[in-house]
Amino acid sequence: MSTPAPAVTRRQVLAALGIGAGAAAIASCSRSSSGDGRIRLAMFHAPESKLNPLTNDGSKLVRWSCAESLTTLNADGDAQELLATSWKREGETTWRLTLREGVTFHDGTALSAENAAAALTFAATAAKPPRVLDGVKLTAKADGKDLLVTTAAPDPLMPQRLSSPQLVILSPAAYPGSSDGAIDPVGHGTGAFILKQANGSSGATLERNDTYWGTKATVPGIDVTYVPDGAARANALRTDTADIVEAVPVAQAGNIDKNLLHEVSTPRTSTLYLNTRSGPFADPALRAAARNAVDPAALIKTVFEGHADSPVGLLGPAVPWAAELRAWKKETYPGASGAAATGKVPGATAAGTVPAGTAITLASYTDRPELGEMVPLLAQQLEAAGFKVTQDVREYNQIESEALAGKFHAVLVSRSTVQDSGDAVAYMTADFSSSGSYSMSGLHDEKVDAAISKAAATQPGDERRKAIMAAEQAILVTGAAIPLAHERVIQGEAAGVTGAQRDPDERVLITSATTVKK
């Protein structure tokens, strides 16, 4: 049987204990004067790979407006110009891009088609290529002043793919002589700020680029501190030793002036994956029973303290076009009174009766505290429907291989639904196609495969968005995944900060227009 839900959550305990924690980190946030106009930024994570842009660290370079990609994305996920000003498709597999003139790297080297091609070639042939190029065989070369990007198979999403922070274009001097060498981003970007110092796991220093090709930054620089402790980050905002703070913990929000806090819906969804390969959830009717048993409103109220959005599907409000393309619009999908249970989702399976003694193992991980807190509550909800639940909560690296091998009946994960290219197809392919590399549900469904394949082959724009939503519906009606909450982040901004970006995709944060006045 499941253990009862604790009256006080783990994060509330940590909040109570952590007010005085991280004093050194907070002190380092204030190493620049609050009146010198520089932005003091407290970030959640230290770099994982020494600011190697081919990894998740690339997002830091972009959030600092230090490095830039060839394209960027608008709110709908459509490609917009950045270092490239135009692009067109030539044949099925080649894209021709025109590069922006007058751009120089921070070391004085001019941007050219040759060095852009070299940067992409290094990424594509690296010992560990960036995630955005998974399954993509890419070559790049200069053709006069133009850049030609060719793929082995047709890729209608290439302009969006080139927007990834993992594909920023750095000066030739940044790249090593071997494919497994270290990339050096210091002083080698094109953005509004120059990365002057990268201080390991403690922080970074950036100065304004006075020769930037775009609008010159208003502030003279940025002082970055990595503060993994949530209470310390919150205290930095509370004590005015940081101007912008990433990911203020929910448990700390009540102790901070609400005018300094800004909630941002993210494309990340807490999702319960059900094992369709074997065990009780091989039966679609029992998957539907689990779908109807969950109470997302209770989970959001208790675990997220209201700081999450009700689950309407796999794609939440951070994907602004999704709801209008659903049959049930913005109605909550799971639960006894949800859209699926009340006949508003075409093709949804009716719930069956749970046989007495049906035992399941529910797994999750502690790396995201809210998931660990959600498990006992979720177990209680499933037990009320007749399941006997055994809980297994460990660190992520201890459960991933077992989850992918189908060792659990249900796995609760937090999943980014719009990945590096700003498109949901990669996530759907990895998680729900028959050949998916992240298939915790082990789903093999011909209709789902066909829907995902159609979306993947459709040109970006309205028709692709419709195809993505058709694929979402096809996935949901199998019952292989139950969305439970669309997650938000809380961004802290001190009084006097203007122009900080609140980006659902967490790509943009500080721009040329960001200012701080004290």
Residues 6+ apart with CB under 8 A from 303: 9, 370, 373, 374, 377, 485
For helices 284-293 and 369-384, give the axis angle rounded to 10 degrees: 110
pLDDT tens per residue across span 263-304: 999 999 999 999 999 999 999 999 999 999 999 999 999 999
* For residues 183-208, average pLDDT: 98
Q: What is the SS3 assignment for 495?
A: coil
**pLDDT at residue 14 in the model:** 41
Buried b / exposed e along 200-218 (16+ C-beta atoms within 10 A):
eeebbbbbbbeebbbeebb
Give the pLDDT band of residue 3 (cuts 50, 70, 90): very low
Give the pLDDT band of residue 464 (cuts 50, 70, 90): very high
* For residues 485-506, average pLDDT: 96
DSSP state of 219: S
Give the pLDDT band of residue 33 (cuts 50, 70, 90): low
Q: Please tell me the distance from the alpha carbon of residue 517 to that of residue 511, in angstroms, as a whole number.
A: 16
Give the pLDDT band of residue 4 (cuts 50, 70, 90): very low
Cα-based torsion angle of the residue sequence 445, 448, 453, 458 in order, rounded to the nearest 10 degrees: 170
All domains of the chain in start order, with CATH: 45-226 (3.40.190.10), 265-488 (3.10.105.10)
pLDDT tens per residue across span 302-323: 999 999 999 999 999 999 999 9
Give the pLDDT band of residue 32 (cuts 50, 70, 90): low
Q: Please tell me the distance from the alpha carbon of residue 318 to that of residue 266, in angstroms, as a whole number.
A: 5
The burial of 157, by beta-carbon neighbours within 10 Å (0-12 exposed, 13-18 middle, 19 or more buried), is given as buried
Q: In 3D, which of 472, 473, 462 has the Cα closest to residue 424?
A: 472
pLDDT tens per residue across span 73-110: 998 889 999 999 999 999 999 999 999 999 999 999 99
**pTM listed for this prediction:** 0.85
Q: What is the SS3 assignment for 468?
A: helix
